[in-house]
């Protein structure tokens, strides 16, 4: 299957198609096309087969495929960002913007610590560290969105109403006649029991939503505190290498949070782990509502 991918890429390579077209045209215009066309086809098959087996070409195909995949994920991330940004209330957006401002301040601190003698091409925070900060901000924004979605669910779902419905159903089941052979009673009992089980599931879902809401709230505070602490330590330590190392450390510590986000993707509206974080620190993403 994988080798067929390389064969297809080799055949569709622009230089191969150009050579095949030129060779076929030459054969057709010659006096003996019945002899030259098989030679062209045989040469084409040998070239495509040889090119497809070369490790360098296979790495090139894999890299192009990965690049296209990242592009699709990046577009999905941008769409997710715009959806979240349109949905979040103003106070939560301001909370995110405040944290993003601290990350921008951290980046500026790292740049200032480089000093005026640093080479112009040197980056105060390498691309990997900027990508890590983007991921942390993306986690923070999705946590805020999930908190908002869960809060909306909790507001419009009444535990008291569900419990009243459960009591009502239990009472109706108890009031059914004792005639076990009555088919009408059996149908009624089955419907009531199913409805009762559904109501109990709703009550259980409500309890889980409350627990998840509390977990999300704590995770938001933890991430905000970690980034604030990182900014403060960066000022005190005055070491750009320390900044980059701590960014990596904080990003690694959020693995469990990403797992939590993936479990709650029903609230986020999309799969959180399958989306490339948008560019939140390098000025490519508009964040003005």
Q: What are 121-173's pLDDT values in tens digits?
A: 444 445 556 677 777 888 888 889 888 988 888 988 899 999 999 999 999 98
> CA-based diameter of the chain, in Å?
99
Label residue 286 left, alpha or beta by phi (over 0 means left) and psi (-120 to 50 means alpha).
beta
Span 14-30, average pLDDT:
76
pLDDT of residue 273: 44
For the cut 60, the answer to whether the pLDDT of residue 42 exceeds it is yes
Least confident of 115-124, 163-172, 279-288: 115-124
Q: What is the mean pLDDT of the chain?
A: 75
pLDDT of residue 283: 55
Q: Which residues contact 234 (CB under 8 A, 6 or more apart)?
A: 106, 109, 110, 242, 243, 246
pLDDT of residue 9: 78
For the chain, which residues make up each domain, given as ranges?
2-53, 89-268
> Residue 227: which of 41, 100, 97, 44 has the closest Cα?
100
pTM: 0.60
Confidence category of residue 253, pLDDT binned at 50, 70, 90: confident
């Amino acid at each position: 299957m994988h080798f067929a991918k390389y064969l297809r890429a080799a055949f569709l390579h622009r230089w191969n198609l150009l050579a095949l077209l030129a060779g076929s045209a030459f054969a057709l215009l010659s006096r003996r096309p019945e002899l030259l066309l098989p030679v062209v086809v045989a040469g084409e098959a040998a070239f495509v087969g040889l090119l497809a087996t070369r490790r360098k070409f296979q790495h090139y195909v894999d890299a192009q495929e990965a690049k296209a995949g990242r592009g699709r994920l990046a577009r999905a991330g941008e769409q997710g960002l715009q959806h979240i940004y349109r949905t979040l209330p103003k106070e939560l957006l301001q909370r995110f913007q405040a944290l993003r401002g601290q990350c921008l301040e951290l980046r500026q601190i790292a740049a200032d610590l480089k000093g005026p003698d640093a080479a112009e091409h040197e980056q105060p925070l390498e691309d990997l560290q900027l990508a890590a900060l983007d991921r942390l901000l993306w986690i923070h924004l999705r946590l805020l969105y999930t908190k908002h979605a869960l809060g909306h669910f909790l507001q419009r779902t009444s535990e008291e109403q569900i419990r009243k419905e459960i009591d009502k159903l239990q009472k109706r089941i108890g009031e059914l006649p004792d005639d076990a052979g009555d088919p009408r009673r059996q149908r009624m009992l089955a419907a009531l029991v199913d409805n009762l089980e559904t109501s109990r599931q709703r009550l259980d879902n409500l309890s889980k939503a409350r627990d998840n809401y509390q977990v999300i709230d704590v995770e938001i505070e933890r991430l905000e505190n970690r980034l604030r602490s990182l900014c403060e330590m960066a000022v005190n330590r005055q070491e750009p290498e320390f900044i980059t190392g701590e960014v990596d450390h904080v990003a690694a510590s959020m693995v469990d949070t990403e797992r939590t986000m993936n479990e709650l993707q029903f609230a986020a509206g999309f799969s959180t782990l399958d989306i490339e974080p948008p560019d939140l620190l390098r000025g490519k993403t508009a964040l003005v509502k």
